[in-house]
Amino acid sequence: MKDPAHMPHPYEDLPPDRYWRTGVADVDVQDIAGLWKPRLHINSRTRIVTAGSCFAQHFSRALVARGYRWMNLEPGPATLTPAQRHDYHYGTFSFRTGNIYTPRMLRQWLTWALERVAPPEDVWETGGRFFDPFRPAVEPDGFASVEELRASREVTLEAIRQAVATAHVFVFTMGLTEAWQNRHSGTEYAVCPGTIAGEFDPETHVFVNHRFAALLDDMTAVLRLLAKANRRLNVLLTVSPVPLTATASGQHVLAATSHSKSLLRAVASELMHGRPRVDYFPSYEIITHPVYRGQFFAPNLRSVLPEGVDHVMRCFFRDIATQFNVPARPDVLQPEASPASGSTETEAELTEAEELRCEEEILAAFAPR
């Protein structure tokens, strides 16, 4: 018999994961599930592209390792070795932009690629080599010439066009709100000039710490550009859990990290509202939340340990399986290799026939006359 004094309210009869005690406190942290309620059913046929800050590269590896269809639109020569791929940033993301830390940077890349707007003329020269200010790390020793730099960048822009046109899901990991821009043109650089390459000039280069409205505006523009190029494209946003290496904001780096990540996290939620094709996966929360007690961080409390990446990706695949009632994919179907691993040239053994021919050649050359 129902208690006549009982008044129904929205917090009764909720699933266990809606209460802190049953969703968190009473659960082994490794078993906390349902952090993500995926809107998109990602399966092995879903064409996925990835871009963003360094944490995004873990997505591609995990997807490939589990037999998902991660798209590499700029794979480079098939014969590259894993070390060469790594050093030249092939296969790190779906195209060779290097890390894209801010929404503004992504907006710039998409504008250049999809709207076919010519990128600014900026080039950084160091020691007679030329570095692309928008992806200075992709060519470890820089380019031989400005022409080579531009030719290489054009390949990347074409890869972006192909990626957006053919993908089902565009995964973007937002990393930072802080950036450096050209004071006159407003163009945003991938890193502060003078750090990896180039020369810092206070007359030309200016620090910017994007505020919420600007971040939202840039990401809204990004979504518009993507939708214009591919109306069926879904966007999965994440926020990198990796703290800032350094801040130019004048704040303590810890406070600056909180500021930066909080804004990006809020932007992600804001973008989801009213946009069914936009989703947010909480890798940031999984790594950084106090319930995990920092266990996924290396001793420097910045680098994410492989166990952390594994756990994030386990959550990713488990939540898809739960939401869409499909079997979870095994953790690792293939070795955790670079998404597009190459081969290493080795000394081939001579066949018997070849060896015989070699012997004949030498004997003929040195036989007494």
Q: Which of 58, 139, 210, 285 binds other proteins (CB under 8 A)?
A: 139
In the complex, minimum distance from the CB of residue 97 to other proteins, in angstroms, rounded to a whole number: 15
- Kindly state whether residue 147 participates in binding other proteins, applying the rule CB under 8 A: no
Q: How far apart are CA 163 and CA 73, in angstroms?
A: 6
Residue 115 or 141: which CB sits closer to other proteins? 141
What one-letter code names the amino acid at 99?
N
Q: How far apart are CA 178 and CA 192, in angstroms?
A: 10
In the complex, minimum distance from the CB of residue 148 to other proteins, in angstroms, rounded to a whole number: 6
What one-letter code names the amino acid at 219?
M
Stretch that binds other proteins, among 11-19, 180-188, 238-246, 361-369 (CB under 8 A): 361-369
In the complex, minimum distance from the CB of residue 229 to other proteins, in angstroms, rounded to a whole number: 22
Residues 58-117 interacting with other proteins (rule: CB under 8 A): 74-77, 79-81, 83-84, 87-88
Q: How far apart are CA 222 and CA 213, in angstroms?
A: 14
Residue 87 or 310: which CB sits closer to other proteins? 87
**Start-end of H helices in the chain:** 20, 56-65, 82-87, 103-114, 146-166, 212-229, 253-272, 283-288, 306-324, 352-366
Residue 78 or 118: which CB sits closer to other proteins? 78
Do 35 and 288 touch, CB atoms closer than 8 A?
A: no
- Kindly state whether residue 366 participates in binding other proteins, applying the rule CB under 8 A: yes
Q: How far apart are CA 195 and CA 198, in angstroms?
A: 7
Residue position matching structure tokens 């350094």? 246
In the complex, minimum distance from the CB of residue 134 to other proteins, in angstroms, rounded to a whole number: 16
- Kindly state whether residue 151 participates in binding other proteins, applying the rule CB under 8 A: yes
- Kindly state whether residue 146 participates in binding other proteins, applying the rule CB under 8 A: no
Q: Which of 18, 41, 252, 357 binds other proteins (CB under 8 A)?
A: 357
Q: How far apart are CA 56 and CA 49, in angstroms?
A: 10
Size of the site for other proteins (CB under 8 A): 39
**Per-residue x/- marks for other proteins, 311-350, CB under 8 A?**
---------------------------------xxxx-xx
What one-letter code names the amino acid at 201?
D
Please tell me whether residue 273 adopts helix, strand or coil conformation.
coil
Residue 7 or 353: which CB sits closer to other proteins? 353
**Start-end of H helices in 88-173:** 103-114, 146-166
* Residue 330 CB partners (closer than 8 Å, separation 6+): 66
- Kindly state whether residue 128 participates in binding other proteins, applying the rule CB under 8 A: no
In the complex, minimum distance from the CB of residue 364 to other proteins, in angstroms, rounded to a whole number: 7
What's the per-residue H, E or C state across 150-176?
A: HHHHHHHHHHHHHHHHHCCEEEEEECC
In the complex, minimum distance from the CB of residue 363 to other proteins, in angstroms, rounded to a whole number: 9
Residues 195-254 interacting with other proteins (rule: CB under 8 A): none
- For binding to other proteins (CB under 8 A), which residues are involved? 74-77, 79-81, 83-84, 87-88, 139-144, 148, 151-152, 155, 344-347, 349-350, 353-355, 357-359, 361-362, 364-366, 369
